[in-house]
Amino acid sequence: MTPTDPKLRLTRLVELAGRDGPASRRALVGELTDLLLDWPQTYPANMREPFEALLERAVRVVDPEARALLAERLAVTSDMPLAILNLLVFDAAPTARDAILAHNAGFEEDGIRIGVSEPALLAAARKAEPFSIPAILAARFRIPDDIAAQIASDASAFSLAVLCKGARVSRAAFSALSLLLAPGASQQEIYRRLSAYDGIVEDCAAGLVAFWRAKAPREADSKAA
């Protein structure tokens, strides 16, 4: 039986977090999500933070299918921190993905500069092998390496479209990058990839890009220097 005392419940969830295996990770994510979506009235509001922190850690190690299912549950709520929602965006189905992107509208971070030199970006990308482009994206857009790698590996090009539109990079530059990242794509795949840019809301994309940059601002700024 799940304990009702918040401290005991947190202790039990921490113990569950210490167990290994996909089933245990999924169980942890499920219980934490249930708790946060149906927060007991007897729990003080300031107790949410440790549970949210535990869920953020759990989401990072759970399998992609579990993240996709979680995105369906959380995308429609405004009670979950962006730090959790944005971990799900790469695995979410299109509808949930768009809803998560919308949560980022208006997000800003002081000191996070926006501005990318398109000629320099494209010159570097055209000289590189496809496997080197993530590093170029990380440096030029000033985002963490792991985010750049996920963006580059997104077969739908949605993430790349978000990155470009959020950083005010033109559709032409996005199209060039999209083709460079998928050199063996069929005509149908190319059309689908290139169409991703037009469906992105710029304000929402700018918020997500600012969020990505804020995750590792010192690292990203040092690369751009």
Structure-block tokens of residue 70: 């979680």
Q: What is the pLDDT of residues 115-167, one digit of tens each?
A: 799 999 999 999 998 889 999 999 999 999 999 999 999 999 999 999 999 99
When computed from its CA atoms, the radius of gyration of the chain, rounded to whole angstroms, is: 19
Residue 107 resides in a domain: no
- For position 112, what pLDDT does the model report? 57
pLDDT at 19 over 90: no
Confidence of residue 111 (pLDDT cuts 50, 70, 90): low
Helical H segments across the chain, by residue range: 6-17, 22-37, 48-61, 64-74, 82-85, 94-103, 118-127, 133-141, 145-153, 158-166, 171-181, 187-194, 202-215, 217-224
pLDDT beyond 80 at 183: yes
Q: What is the pLDDT of residue 220?
A: 40
Residues 59 and 127 in one domain: no
Band (2; pLDDT cuts 50, 70, 90): low
- Cα gap 10→22, rounded to integer Å: 20
Q: What is the pLDDT of residues 34-60, one digit of tens each?
A: 889 988 888 888 888 988 998 999 999
d(CA 110, CA 113) in angstroms, rounded, equals 8
Percentage of the chain modeled with pLDDT above 70: 91
Is residue 53 a part of any domain in this protein? yes
Q: What's the domain range around 207?
A: 118-224
pLDDT band at 1 (very low <50, low <70, confident <90, very high): very low
**For the residues 175-185, what does the mean pLDDT come to?**
92
What is the C-alpha separation between 65 and 75, in angstroms, rounded? 15
Whether residue 132 sits in one domain with residue 219: yes
Is 90 part of any domain?
no
HSE-up (13 A, CA, CB side) for residue 69: 10
Tally of domains in the chain: 2
Instruction: Identify whether residues 72 and 126 lie together within a single domain.
Output: no
Residue-level pLDDT at 50: 87
Of 125, 61, 107, the residue nearest 87 (C-alpha) = 61
Q: Identify the residue with better confidence: 111 or 181.
A: 181
